[in-house]
A and B are shown apart, each in its own frame.
Chain A
Amino acid sequence: MKTIKKTNTMKTFKKISILFLATLVFSACSSDDDSPIPVNEEEVITTLTAEFTPVGGGSTITLRSRDLDGDGPNPPVITVSGPFAVSTTYNGRLIILNETETPAEIINSEIEEEDDEHQFFFQATNGIGTFNYVDFDGDGNPLGLAFTMTTSQSAATGRLTITLRHEPNKDAAGVSEGDITNAGGETDIQASFSVMVQ
């Protein structure tokens, strides 16, 4: 009688231990299968396109900086469609895209919604052009998604840089005139193009 009872206990113990082992093995195996899901990076900006349309007609000039791997090792691809004409005023507009998504997400509206926290700055070397803001935030401070550029009177080559600052100090000296020196904030986009005025 005693021996039988003992055997039964042993059996139960064995069963429990097998069950325990099985759970271990099962959980070990199952965890191997669940792969993490990829992160679709949000608020990524891959592409800045600046379109310059001459006032009074003529061919549109497009500058583009495209960086499809974001903070990956590949540098942005910079393209300039052609030279600007001398003494010409261009209506400029910027298109900001996240091309890691299909269809590409247009970031412009996000910037417009928080226009008081953003400002674009335009800088040109060699006096190749001057810039004026066309769009403004609720406080009457410039934003810069739309702007005008007036090219130099004589032919020149230079560098055109477009910078987007997040949380700049728009009230600091010169900032509302487009001077980046005192703007502060942090840079969200900085694209620099080698351009020609002829």
Chain B
Amino acid sequence: MKYFILIVACCVFNMTYSQKCNSKFSGEIHDFHDGTPIVGATVYIESIDKYAISDIDGKFSLENVCDGSLAVVIEHVACETKQLNVKISGDTFRVINLEHHIEELKEIKLKGNSTPKLMKTSQETVLKTDVIERYSSLSLGDALKQISGVSSINTGNSIVKPVINGLHGSRIVVMTNGVRLQDQEWGIEHAPNIDLNTAGSINVIKGANALAYGGDAIGGVIVIKPSNISLKDSLYGKTIVSGQTNGRGFSLSSSLIKTYKKGWYVGAQGSTKRYGDFEAPDYNLTNTGLNSKGFSVDAGYKTFEQGFDVYYSYLNNEIAILRSSHIGNVEDLVNAINNQQPLVVNDFSYDINAPRQDVTHQIFKSNLYKRFKKFGRLELQYDFQNNQRFEFDIRVGDDRDKPAIDLTLKTHTIRTELKLDSKSNVTYSFGVNAGYQNNFANPDTGVRRLIPDYDRYDAGIFTIANYRMNDKINLDFGLRYDFNRIDAKKFYQTSRWEERRYDDDFGDIVIDDLGTQLLTNPVFDYHNVSASAGIEYQMDETNSFIFNYGLSNRAPNPSELFSDGLHHSAARIELGDLRIKQETSNRVSGTYSHSGNSLNFNLEAFYNHIGDYIFIEPTGTEQTIRGAFPVWSYGQTNAALFGLDLTSRYKFNERWSFSNKSSLIKGRDLDFERALIDMPSFKSVNILGYSNEKWLSFNSELQSELVLRQNDFPNNNFEVFIPSTGQMVLVDISTPPPAYHLLHFQSDITLNISTKTDLNIGLNVTNILNRSYREYLNRLRYFADDLGRNVMLQLKLNY
């Protein structure tokens, strides 16, 4: 009976309302800060499940809306989600101001869709689609170097590992489409397996404050996100083709996305790159070609309230490594260093010969989310990654075509995150993740395993709070705990086991004695606590400050623990150490931002104290029948890294502008009072820009890149006896190369072919003056110069 009355009451209620449900609710959405219209914002009326999307002028309208008070949610990728109560009586017009993120106001003003910062109180920079597209034919590392404070450590020009404030490898977390990349990132010659063409935006967060992604990102976090999908009936895509003179190659990337107003979408993307031998100004860099193929597919359903996504990506990179860098022993190294040019210089070729890498990375991801009214958003995700790495050395006889390294790394991760954002000034996030990883080193290589077979178990839990105290102050707090267990099965040469004195400390982990080899079962557990706190203070319209603190711990990676053996490509014996503990970073940083009418700048300072900092450096030589080899050992020390990063831009008028990006970093070994090895040198980039909308949206930039010589380096040079000359010779593996200055030019125009199609034509010239130079952080600097002049033509078609 009770129910009956209720049902009747509802019907009556509905009927009364349906009679007055022909009002029109329209309006305009503006940026709170500068009043510009906001494009692509979603206006959602929860009670009747209706959407509208703001157009190019920020306008929207919803037909057949009932009179009365309506709860409206306005959402935009670059803005705070806003909830409003609107009183509708007849046709109603409202102007709605949205809080655009502060980041939008500085740097490049962007047309079209934009990307917010992930964390308000961190040192964070966003690379947008147009910048990423310019690097379509290059690598992730090359694109990220545009950010002040981000550099790279290279093996040649195709293997580019990003370095954030002096830290790289396992100290950087790379998130791609919500998945934490697990691709043997511990290896210095292992570039991230990312196809830059899958990225719509890239956020780089310096330091370990982004705890949602991991507690061990002492260097920082790189978050790569696909282009945002909007809720409308549409079919769109883009194709980028580029050809270049250096490497005589091309790259091609194409994507197509179909979206439906109801929220369904499906998309696919593919790209390929092919280059032959690159050229230094004076000679061919024999065997430096590249062959890359990748594709991804994505489908799902997305609304404000719920959605799911299924994603798969495949990327294969075949990379040739400079022939002359493959050497035999320390005498060959001395010869290479003393020779002004590489020992092997052949005619141009597209062949990819040994030494080479062949790496395939696959990602499968599925996730779903649901938003609960007046509560928050719950997200669940599972992902699987398979990384297959082959490395081919120069070998003889039957082994010629056999890989010297054959590793398969499989990673499963599940994670869930609950975000409570019903209150306008406080957001809480809670997350849990668990992962299992298995590494398999194929014994068929006929070479002792560089990295052993292992199982790894990870579990993490975190909580993050964001408070918006008032219009001026934002606060972030985060706390995270991680557990890691690594369970390995590793063979040691008995002689190495004894030389390392492992029999004293680790006698109990030997499970089999094969005479010359021992099979061991090291199992290590690590407990890591990380925390972060940050404050953003918006002093006035143009000036703001950020201060933050981050505590993080990183467990040693398999390479730091288990490396043992000869690395041919570097002619060195690399030794890990089972005694290595986790490292602990305490980082404080401050940022001052100014965004005026003509002058914008962003000055970031940081101090990072890393207790038990893990690093590798030369520690001596060992004699073998091949001759002597330098030994590089992993060790730990207390270290401090500190520096300044400046990004500034001055607009003379609508057309002319001048920018500067500079970064200075110092790394100190506190225990031994000396410099740290492999720290980026001072770099300053000055850019003169000219744009003119009237000339087919013409943009151009002349860039001057100045890199000074690194004068702070540990002297690890050593003397070695060269039998063939009977002399002691100094092996200079420490002295950094001299300073260099390069000029680059880039320009582009845009042609509107039809209302929905435009063609962008870009011309880029790098190293215009064809200068010969070597970079301290390129591991092949002993063997050859860096790249000479390159002219690249790029066509970009948006449809």
Contact = CB atoms under 8 A, between A and B. Distances in A.
A22 B448 CA distance: 36
A51 to B, nearest CB: 17
Contact of B396 (A38, A110, A190, A191): A110
A187 B394 contact: no
A117 B344 CA distance: 14
A144 to B, nearest CB: 14
Contact of A71 (B452, B511, B517, B629): B629
Interface in B446-498: 446-449, 452-453, 455, 489, 491, 493-496
Contacts of A187: 327-329, 331-332, 626-627
Interface in A158-193: 159, 161, 163, 165-167, 180, 184-192
A184 B622 contact: no
Contact of A72 (B326, B493, B626, B726): B493
Interface in B392-447: 394-397, 399, 441, 443, 445-447
Contacts of B327: 186-187
Contacts of A35: 489, 511-512, 519
A20 B289 CA distance: 49
Contacts of B493: 69-70, 72
Contacts of A113: 397
Interface stretch (A11-19, A73-81, A84-92, A135-143): A73-81
B396 A43 contact: yes
Contacts of B332: 186-187
A148 interface: no
Interface in B561-581: 565-566, 573
A171 B489 CA distance: 47
B491 A189 contact: no
B724 interface: yes
A75 B622 contact: yes
B723 interface: yes
B491 A190 contact: no
Contact of A190 (B329, B344, B449): B329
Categorize the interface residue count of chain A.
35 or more
A95 interface: no
Given A161-B723, A192-B723, A39 B625 contact: no
B702 interface: no
Contacts of A62: none
B624 A159 contact: no
A36 B408 CA distance: 14
A57 B629 CA distance: 40
B516 interface: yes
A39 B492 CA distance: 11
Contacts of B449: 36, 39
B491 A188 contact: no
Given A188-B328, A190-B723, A38 B519 contact: yes
B446 A39 contact: yes
A175 B445 CA distance: 33
B509 interface: no
A100 B516 contact: yes
A97 B327 CA distance: 22
A36 B489 contact: yes
A68 B447 contact: no
A121 B722 CA distance: 14
Given A35-B511, A71-B573, A73-B496, A45 B724 contact: no
Q: Closest 9 interchain pairs by CB? A: A187-B328, A42-B446, A190-B627, A186-B328, A192-B723, A75-B623, A73-B499, A67-B625, A71-B566
Interface of B: 326-329, 331-332, 335, 343-344, 394-397, 399, 441, 443, 445-449, 452-453, 455, 489, 491, 493-496, 499, 511-512, 514, 516-517, 519, 565-566, 573, 622-627, 629, 723-724, 726
Given A41-B446, A76-B623, A192-B723, 12 more contacts: A36-B452, A36-B453, A67-B623, A67-B625, A69-B494, A69-B516, A71-B573, A71-B629, A72-B496, A76-B625, A190-B331, A190-B625
